[in-house]
Chains A and B, each alone.
Chain A
Amino acid sequence: MTAPPALLRMSAPLRDDFEIPYHHIGDGEPKVAVVAGIHGDELNGVFVVSRLARFLKAVAAGEHPGQRLVAPVLIVPAVNVLGVNTRNRRWPFDSTDINRMFPGYDAGETTQRIAHAVLELTRPAHYRLDIHSSNLDFEEIPQVRLYEPTERERDSSRLFGLAAVIERPMNTIFTSTIGHAWRAFGGENFVVQAGQAGVLQPPHCARLFRALVAFLVRSGILRGVDLSEEDEDTHYFGLRQTLPLISDNAGFFLSRLDVGRWVQAGDVVGQVYDGFDGELRHEIKAPVAGLLSGMRRQPLLFEGDLVARIQTRHPVTEGVDTYLHGQGQ
């Protein structure tokens, strides 16, 4: 087996030289670029896109009769290789967040060089996908995230067939992410978010895999693949249709709710207990009806912490800007 191509090779202070390998499936300039593992602890994305690479390679090799890869696809399962291996969200040496280093610089700091190399590799593609998994504390349904999208991106976001497309406000931090850097190159760019960091979640992985395949089929890149299961109903949530649910109480947080279900106004989302005397301090209820797109999984709760996100059918006026710099990206 030949070694895979690498977007960057670098010496390490003590261990072997390391590289950031990727898959280039099909011949010629890539039409699609899929990037995961910019955060080293977001494992759903790394795992799913590695499986996608295997599937697409088999298709390209003619192992699936009747199926054909029409245009080349680039896949980077993990940008933050050292972070994956040491279970670290950030670049482990200097604790920089690679997704805050874009557009990068080829003569700059290590993570600037990494960012630059990822951008150069993915620049020629028309469709660019950045796959994430929230963080260690929070679980999110597989969803497409859009930041000040173009009309074409709004339309194409439905091709994934995921239950939620969520538009989020642009903010000053987002300007240093790969999603923002890609915009300078044109094309269509998407952030896809699935599950929780630090764990591998088979149901979310299955949904994400199907969504990526559905996108490739519907954008005409993959032919002959039958998307046997029905799509979930896709709901498009605009800027004012995200309600972050905040706890004003600190303590131990408990919830039995799964993400992806619909809640009614007044439904109990979870409880907050005093971790010293065991007293039930507060019951957190949904203030509005909507799709539970994200749930807190970390029990330790600070005053002001996010416990859930609810996507509402109608615009809500409050709280929209609270999470401009919120958890996950």
Chain B
Amino acid sequence: MGVRIDQDAILTLQLPYRERLQVRRTVFDGGGTPTVAVVAGIHGDELEGLYVCHRLAAWLESLVTRRPDALRGRVELYPALNPLGVDTLQRFVPVFDTDLNRNFPGHAAGLLPQRITEAVMRHLAGAALVLDIHASNVFLREIPQVRINEAFAEHLVPLARRMNIDIIWLHGALTVLEATIAHSLNARDTPCLVVEMGVGMRITPAFTDQLMTGILRAWRDLGVLDSDVPLDDLTHHPLIADDSNVHYLNAETSGLFVPEAEHWTSVTKGQRLGCIVSAHEGRVLSEVRSPVDGVLFTLREYPVVYEGSLMARIMAVAAPSACGGLDG
């Protein structure tokens, strides 16, 4: 049986003036099972996942040219669930001003955002693995990580461990997060991992390479790819973060945050990570110091801060030197 590569739209909606909105996907179908999917661009300003989709498409196109038999299952790539947001540089769904990732599981007779989410749910239900790739926001840079709701940890943590990411972050069950794609799929027994990496409005090719290795190996483990397809070895083994070991550094005052420490490096208790300065005068308004020994896994990218703005997150680690730096 031959491999089929198709592009189709899972939803087409009329816009007020002539145009149509389509949510498109690319499908690589080896004819067998299982089905896996990658979704990205739920937030229109998060682009890392779009690039991951491109790289996966390129890899699969090359594979089926060389070895069509090696694709056994079915791969669906959804680079932009919020295509209008990506095309107009808006995080939320344009016009509706709503976070698409708070509109799941959606409704076929609802507003446009709910129609999108309903169609997405209908097409992804039953997949063996869905990856929902996020790129933080324009404010914060994140190391490649998977975030997992504790309610689904037992099933998802073993999957996440093999994704070649640096951190698995277990978080408590918040009711409001029930309206996310990940919760909606996991609650319907379709495993969905939320990947966060990089920063909004940018792509970070090194992170893409890192995650690609994990995704392809996961697909091979699931039987989507033939077991003899050669793949890179895992190079990253995640630390487990949770409420007990993650420390938040919020700005004491408003101003300009100027970082001094490098993202994803070990830091020691009391180490100066940066400072908040005034644009009006020469003095430093606030020094930002690490409260613990650990690794700096979130670092603010956008300099302007208000009181309370998050500048960094540090995961406490007993022996920080044991953690690797960011592999090039």
Contacts and interface: CB of A to CB of B under 8 A. Distances in A.
A249 interface: yes
Contacts of A109: 250, 308-310
Interface stretch (A208-216, A283-291, A315-323): A315-323
Which bucket holds chain B's interface residue count?
Answer: 35 or more
B176 interface: yes
Contact of A94 (B110, B139, B255, B280): B139
Contact of B111 (A111, A175, A176, A326): A326
A304 B111 contact: yes
A141 B248 CA distance: 44
Contact of A172 (B14, B18, B179): B179
Contacts, number: 117
Interface in B68-99: 91-92, 95-98
Given A11-B307, A95-B91, A250-B15, A303 B109 contact: no
B111 A172 contact: no
Contacts of A10: 254, 306-308
A88 to B, nearest CB: 11
A173 B177 CA distance: 9
A195 interface: no
B16 interface: yes
Interface in A194-210: none
A276 B19 CA distance: 11
A182 to B, nearest CB: 16
Given A95-B91, A305-B112, A175 B175 contact: yes
B36 to A, nearest CB: 27
A314 to B, nearest CB: 21
A300 B96 CA distance: 12
B305 interface: yes
B16 A302 contact: yes
A173 B102 contact: yes
Contacts of B17: 275-276, 300
B109 A319 contact: yes
A327 B96 CA distance: 8
A252 B18 CA distance: 11
Interface string A84-117: 0000010001110000100000011111110000
Contacts of B110: 304, 322-323, 325-326
Interface in A69-95: 89, 93-95
B242 interface: no
Contact of A89 (B97, B139, B280, B304): B97
Contacts of B139: 94
Contacts of B236: none
B253 interface: yes
Given A246-B109, A304-B111, A304-B112, A176 B176 contact: yes
B307 A173 contact: no
Contacts of A66: none
Contact of A11 (B13, B178, B254): B254
Closest A-B pairs by Cβ, 4 of them = A250-B14, A110-B308, A300-B16, A303-B14
Interface of A: 10-14, 89, 93-95, 100, 107-113, 135, 172-173, 175-176, 246, 249-252, 275-276, 300-306, 319, 321-327
Given A110-B308, A322-B109, 20 more contacts: A10-B254, A10-B307, A13-B279, A89-B97, A93-B306, A108-B308, A109-B310, A110-B306, A111-B308, A112-B308, A250-B14, A276-B18, A300-B17, A301-B16, A302-B95, A303-B15, A304-B115, A306-B111, A321-B107, A326-B111
16 contacts: A10-B254, A10-B308, A94-B139, A111-B308, A172-B175, A172-B176, A173-B102, A173-B176, A175-B176, A276-B17, A303-B13, A304-B112, A305-B112, A319-B109, A322-B109, A323-B111
Interface of B: 13-18, 91-92, 95-98, 102-103, 107, 109-115, 139, 175-176, 178-179, 248, 250, 253-256, 279-280, 304-310
